Amino acid sequence: MKVTFPHMGNCWPAFKVLCTGVGAEVYLPDPNNVKQLDAGLKHSPEWVCFPFKVTLSNFIEALDEGVDNLVMATDCGPCRFGFYYAVQERILRDLGYDFKMYYLPQGDLLDFKWIKLLKALSEDKSLLNYFRIFRTARLFLMKSQLIQTVEKLEGKIRCYEVNKGDTTHTLNKCIQLIDDANTFNELNKLRKRIKNEFDKIEINKRDNNEILKVGLSGEIQVTLDPFVNHDIKRKLGELGCEVHMNLSLYDWIKHKFHVNFHRKYLEYLNKSQKNIGGLQMDIGGEAFWVMGEYIDYAQRGFDGFVHIYPFTCMPEITAKSILTKWYGNKYFDIPPIFFGFDEHSGEAGLITRLESYVDLLKNKKEKKNNGNGRK
Amino acid sequence: MVMAENREAEIDKNDNLYLGIDVGSVSTKFAIINDNMELIYSTWARSHGSPIKSVQDGFKEMQNDFIDYESQIRAVGTTGSARYLTKALVGGDIAKTEIIAHAVAASYFVPGVRTILEIGGQDSKVILLENGIITDFAMNSICAAGTGSFLDHQAHRLGIPIEEFGDYAKRSKTDVVIAGRCTVFAESDMIHKQQMGHSKEDIIWGLCNSLVRNYLNNVCKGKKLLPPITFQGGVAANDGIRRAFEKHLGQKIIVHKNFLTMGAIGAAMLAREYIEINNIKTKFKGFNVGEMKFTPKAFNCTDCPNQCEITYVEQDDGTIIARWGDRCGKWTL
């Protein structure tokens, strides 16, 4: 059985092991790219959000390669994402493809409906198979945790690198290492290996006062996929910002298993700001936690906060409006900046805004450090 | 080529001079200032497509007057959407975004400024400052409604020169409502109102109002615009828009006499600051840049399915002075 799933940045090794672990063969679509995207754009509704278009393009590419089993995640959250797998299935059927669509219900992972998916993906129907399924789940968790480690290190280290491009190189190498390791033992050893790989990067440690610490958060697909967000993490790093990011696949999975205490804390922060308009409930997307992150980074004395979301994403735009108001009214002293992404490929506006934003943060920081700006 | 020149101060043999270049989507601006921040020379010209050519034309223009003072140029700053290309062309010292350049110049020439409204050819921005430091800014990200190009286009359609736009707006007697959410709607609304028999004057005033409404709702959404407010960029020449801003904001809008070249002046100021702090010499190639030969070339990278279009600029001696256009960053120079 040949299976495919859409890309979400560097998360593919984790999804891959979810399929190979139970004995399915995986076709991995090319990383998101302009050429592939054409088909997705052509067949997507105009107003749907960008992640829909990208994932649809992944499916079309795989179907053209002769894959006939698709896996798509779904949610029962309040945003449109819950319907994506169903709409995509109809669009693809209308295009004349013959396939079977599996969905990964991740509304609440503790109801263990995901076992059904893994059972469906494996051809072995014996009782022994349950053992394999849980082994696969554990491999998936370990890999996604390692990916999280790699992505966190990447964001923090890039602004110090001496040779431009080293960090990206190491990142890609580590992701490949994670993909190659397929036993618990190997994965355990990788933890140290990854640290070593990143330690090998030649860095130029600078004064703490000079480095800008920026928090990055937003809708999960947009934040994790460098194609979708025009590599904003790299661009921020190259402009000299230490990028901190808590969002990751592992973070999300933990949240869905109800053991993500960091997110619980972010929810608490949000709820505690009730009198100035903090959200009181999950309204879809990542809005609830994005706002929590903003408060958290503000309290921890970060310099900036970057919020990215798919253009037309209702929940994230709600968060954007509230954050703009908070900063304008000086409830928090950390300037937020917002980027909405869609199919456009021109980067001039994005770069202008990013550069100006980094300059803004620099001036602000210098003023804080020595009492006068721009010197 | 439409040119507007401006000289405010006399040049002195002992002055240090700083050159700022602002290459935007529609026009190219040059400014030379001296140590006392006096404007020695500034010029504004429409750029027709190629930024390389417009920069070179500007240099040819300056060469006559300033070739003797070439050694006095201490720093060169570039800004605008073609800042990196220009920096590579002329041997600039820094390239800063137009947002920073406008803010720096405005906070010097309009002391205590809190809000800068900047509307140019292709984009519109709002910049908020506090004690001379930028605290927030926003830029139109999705829609080009309300920028100079659209006004230009509409003036052309109505058959009046863009320079007289403000006068027409002033003569209006009644308010005509025109949809401002989108230029497509605005245009069809305008045509409709024209067919209904409204005068050109009223329609133009209505257009000014709708563009300002759109700008305030989209770009300035959720931001507090505190006085003093200045209005800069090419569209500030349009008195109708200024008056529409005053009407909607209920504040006096200051238009500084150098509103057009403010970005270039800011770039010169930033270059000066950069040179002084780091105590280095300028990389300026000299005024003969106008006569050098630069050839822009392009190829498609085929290393991955993205197939990025890589563009680069070759100098006459074959060295590549600038290269970009890739998503992954491996070609960028």
pLDDT tens digits for range A196-240 = 999 999 988 877 677 899 999 999 999 999 999 988 999 999 998
B50 in contact with chain A, both atoms CB, cutoff 8 A: no
Candidates B81, B100, B116, B310, partner chain A, best to mutate (most A CBs within 10 A):
B100
pLDDT score at B120: 83
- Give which of B116, B73, B80 is closest to B226, Cα–Cα: B116
Contact A359 B100 (CB under 8 A): yes
Nearest CA in chain A to B272: A375
The torsion defined by the Cα of B283, B286, B292 and B295, in degrees rounded to 10, comes to: 30
A203 in contact with chain B, both atoms CB, cutoff 8 A: no
**Token duo for residue B37:** 């921040």
Conformational region of residue B50, where left means phi above 0, alpha means psi within -120 to 50, and beta covers everything else: beta
d(CA B151, CA B238): 10
Domain boundaries, chain B: 3-103+262-292, 111-254, 295-324
Kindly report the pTM of this predicted structure.
Answer: 0.90
pLDDT(A125) > 80: no
- Of A135-149, B108-122, B288-302, the poorest mean pLDDT is in B288-302
**Token duo for residue A363:** 């001036």
pLDDT confidence bin for B1, thresholds 50/70/90: very low
Contact B305 A35 (CB under 8 A): yes
- Give which of A54, A13, A50, A52 is closest to A35, Cα–Cα: A54
- Mean pLDDT calculated for residue range A1-18: 91
Residues 6+ apart with CB under 8 A from B250: none
Mean pLDDT for chain B overall? 86
d(CA B170, CA B204): 9
Q: How far away is chain A from the Cα of B110, in angstroms, using its nearest Cα?
A: 17
Contact A324 B141 (CB under 8 A): no
**B3-103+262-292 and B111-254, same CATH topology:** yes
- Of A274-278, A314-318, B19-23, B318-322, the poorest mean pLDDT is in B318-322
pLDDT score at B312: 87
Q: In which residue are the tokens 């904001």 written?
A: B249
d(CA A111, CA A154): 34
B25 in contact with chain A, both atoms CB, cutoff 8 A: no
> Helix, strand, or coil here: A308?
strand
pLDDT score at A371: 65
Residue type, B204: I
B304 interaction partners in chain A (CB closer than 8 Å): 31, 33
Of A230, A321, A363, the CB nearest to B222: A321
**Token duo for residue B21:** 């270049």
B223 in contact with chain A, both atoms CB, cutoff 8 A: yes
Q: In which residue are the tokens 């002293």 written?
A: A333
pLDDT(B144) > 90: no
DSSP letter (8 states) at residue A161: B
Residues 6+ apart with CB under 8 A from A64: none
Residues 6+ apart with CB under 8 A from A68: A2, A98, A99, A100
pLDDT confidence bin for B141, thresholds 50/70/90: low
Find out if CATH 3.90.1170.50 is the number for domain B3-103+262-292.
no
A195 in contact with chain B, both atoms CB, cutoff 8 A: no
Roughly what angle, to the nearest 10 degrees, separates helices B200-218 and B183-195? 160
pLDDT(A374) > 60: no
Contact B81 A327 (CB under 8 A): no
For the stretch A251-295, pLDDT in tens is 999 999 999 999 999 999 999 999 998 889 888 888 999 999 999
Contact B131 A359 (CB under 8 A): no
pLDDT confidence bin for A375, thresholds 50/70/90: very low
- Of A19-28, B34-43, B324-333, the poorest mean pLDDT is in B324-333
**A2-125 and A211-375, same CATH topology:** yes
pLDDT(A92) > 90: yes
pLDDT(A34) > 50: yes
Candidates B130, B306, B309, partner chain A, best to mutate (most A CBs within 10 A):
B306
> Helix, strand, or coil here: B58?
helix
Of A335, A340, A349, the CB nearest to B139: A349
pLDDT score at B268: 93
- Of A10-14, B143-147, B178-182, B210-214, the poorest mean pLDDT is in B143-147
Domain boundaries, chain A: 2-125, 142-206, 211-375
Q: How far away is chain B from the Cα of A333, in angstroms, using its nearest Cα?
A: 10
Q: Which of residues 252-281 of A touch B (CB under 8 A)?
A: none
- Give which of B276, B277, B275, B265 is closest to B108, Cα–Cα: B265
pLDDT confidence bin for B142, thresholds 50/70/90: low
- Mean pLDDT calculated for residue range B116-145: 84
> Helix, strand, or coil here: A206?
coil
Higher pLDDT pick, A349 / B267: B267
pLDDT confidence bin for B3, thresholds 50/70/90: low
- Of A73-77, A87-91, B272-276, the poorest mean pLDDT is in A73-77
pLDDT(A16) > 70: yes
pLDDT score at B185: 79
Q: Are the CB atoms for A323 and A205 separated by under 8 Å? A: no
pLDDT confidence bin for B38, thresholds 50/70/90: confident
Contact A30 B123 (CB under 8 A): no
pLDDT score at B12: 78
CATH topology of domain A2-125: Rossmann fold (3.40.50)
pLDDT(B103) > 90: yes
* Strand order, beta sheet including B133-139: B133-139, B124-130, B115-119, B229-232, B253-254
**What top-level class would CATH report for the domain B111-254?**
alpha beta
Query: How do the residues of chain B divide into helix, strand and coil, expressed in percent and rounded to 5?
Result: 40, 25, 35
pLDDT(A136) > 60: yes
B38 in contact with chain A, both atoms CB, cutoff 8 A: no
Candidates B116, B135, B300, partner chain A, best to mutate (most A CBs within 10 A):
B135
H-assigned helices in B91-226: 98-109, 148-158, 165-170, 183-195, 200-218
- Give which of B212, B121, B228 is closest to B169, Cα–Cα: B212
- Give which of B280, B17, B267, B124 is closest to A359, Cα–Cα: B267
CATH topology of domain A211-375: Rossmann fold (3.40.50)
pLDDT(A115) > 50: yes
pLDDT score at B127: 93
Mean pLDDT for chain A overall? 89
pLDDT score at B299: 86
Is cis: bond before B228, omega within 30 of 0? Answer: yes
> Helix, strand, or coil here: B22?
strand
Q: Residue A14's CB: how many other CB atoms inside 10 A?
A: 24
Conformational region of residue B2, where left means phi above 0, alpha means psi within -120 to 50, and beta covers everything else: beta
